[in-house]
Amino acid sequence: MNSTQALSRNTILDSVRANQPATQPMPTIPHFHTNQPADLVTTFCESIARMAGVVVTDLLNEDVPDLDSFLRAKFPDAKVFCSAIPEYAGTIKPASLNHWSEASTIDICILRSPMGVAETGSILLSDIELQVNTIAFLAHDLVVLLDPKQIVENIHDAYEHPYFKLRPYSVLMTGPSGSGDISGITVHPAQGVKTLTVILFPAQHAGQRSG
């Protein structure tokens, strides 16, 4: 830190110390579990639908789901399938990208999220799943596998996830990008991904398949 910066830092901190009001206590923050919904999966599906996210439950009962057929049927015009999961090959892997802006050439990226949030319909992604973070907003369409058992009740529970204390980048994603900036009319997409599809699918199935 140069001398100007040291001076600015000290000036600001001195002024804050001189002006801050008498210390007030930090409240205890409950998790508000008293309103627990009967069915977290149903609540999750309702919440994400409000944000234009799509949930697929058809594959829940399949031992070995045919992801390739599913993706090609759902996205018939897509050519570049980027897979960030071991159980699906795709046409490329995140590691194939030479530059972070190249994520914009991906039509479909398939990932697995470690957590869903029933209250808001959000899924968690971090630099671990994404590998190249720009995939979360430059890829055209995201398809995210989520184990229904990994859906937590609310945002208080969600922020207990260790990612928020450990990872350089983490995002609670809730539906595709959108904007209400023109006349308050909500449209999709805005600058980020065009669609977000969440496939509910137990994690152990993936393990069997990849094993």
Partner 1 sequence: MSGVVDQARNAETFLADTVHEERLDKLLWAMRLRRDAAARQVPEWEELRTLASEIKEHTLSNLSQYLIQFEARATANGMIVHWARDAHEHNQIVYDILAEQGANSLVKSKSMLTEECELRPFLERRGVRVTETDLGERIQQLDDQPPGHIVGPAIHKTTQDVATLFSQKYGSDPRNLDAAYLAGVMRENTRPDILNAPAGMTGANFVVAETGAIVVATNEGNADLSAHTPPLHICSVGIEKIIPTTESLAVFIRLLTRSATGDKITQYTSMFRGPRKGAVMHVILVDNGRSSRLGMKRFWHSLKCIRCAACMNTCPVYRRSGGLSYGSTYMGPIGIIMMPTFEIRKYSELPFASTLNGSCTNVCPVKIDIHEQIYGWREVMEENGQIQVVKKEAMRVADEVLSHPTLYRIATTALSTALEVLPHFAVYNRLNSWAKHRDVPEAATETFHEWYRNNRLHTNEEVRRG
Please identify which residue in 110, 193, 199, 206 interacts with partner 1, judged by CB under 8 A: 193
Rg of the chain over Cα atoms, rounded to whole angstroms, equals 21
Q: Which pairs from 24-30 meet CB under 8 Å and 24+ separation? A: 29/156, 30/156
| Nearer CB in complex with partner 1: 9/79 | 9
Six token digits for residue 155: 């945002």
Q: Is 47 in the site for partner 1 (CB under 8 A)?
A: yes
| Nearer CB in complex with partner 1: 110/125 | 125
Please identify which residue in 75, 80, 92, 177 interacts with partner 1, judged by CB under 8 A: 177
Please identify which residue in 5, 61, 69, 98 interacts with partner 1, judged by CB under 8 A: 5
Six token digits for residue 139: 């890829």
Pairing mode, if any, of strands 122-126 and 116-117?
Answer: antiparallel
The residue range among 20-28, 58-66, 72-80, 200-208 that interacts with partner 1, by the rule CB under 8 A, is: 20-28
Please identify which residue in 129, 175, 195, 199 interacts with partner 1, judged by CB under 8 A: 175
Q: How far apart are CA 155 and CA 122, in angstroms?
A: 9
β-partners of residue 81 are: 108
Please identify which residue in 84, 136, 144, 200 interacts with partner 1, judged by CB under 8 A: 136
Please identify which residue in 21, 73, 95, 211 interacts with partner 1, judged by CB under 8 A: 21
Q: How far apart are CA 68 and CA 66, in angstroms?
A: 6
| Among candidate residues 90, 93, 184, the one with its CA nearest the CA of residue 135 | 93
Q: Is 49 in the site for partner 1 (CB under 8 A)?
A: no
Q: What angle do CA 174, 176, 180 make, to 5 degrees?
A: 95
**Minimum Å distance from CB 12 to partner 1?**
5
| Nearer CB in complex with partner 1: 192/202 | 192
Please identify which residue in 149, 159, 204, 208 interacts with partner 1, judged by CB under 8 A: 159
β-partners of residue 108 are: 81, 141
The residue range among 4-12, 69-77, 82-90, 199-207 that interacts with partner 1, by the rule CB under 8 A, is: 4-12
Six token digits for residue 125: 């992604």
Residues 73-132 that bind partner 1 (CB under 8 A): 100-101, 104, 119-122, 127
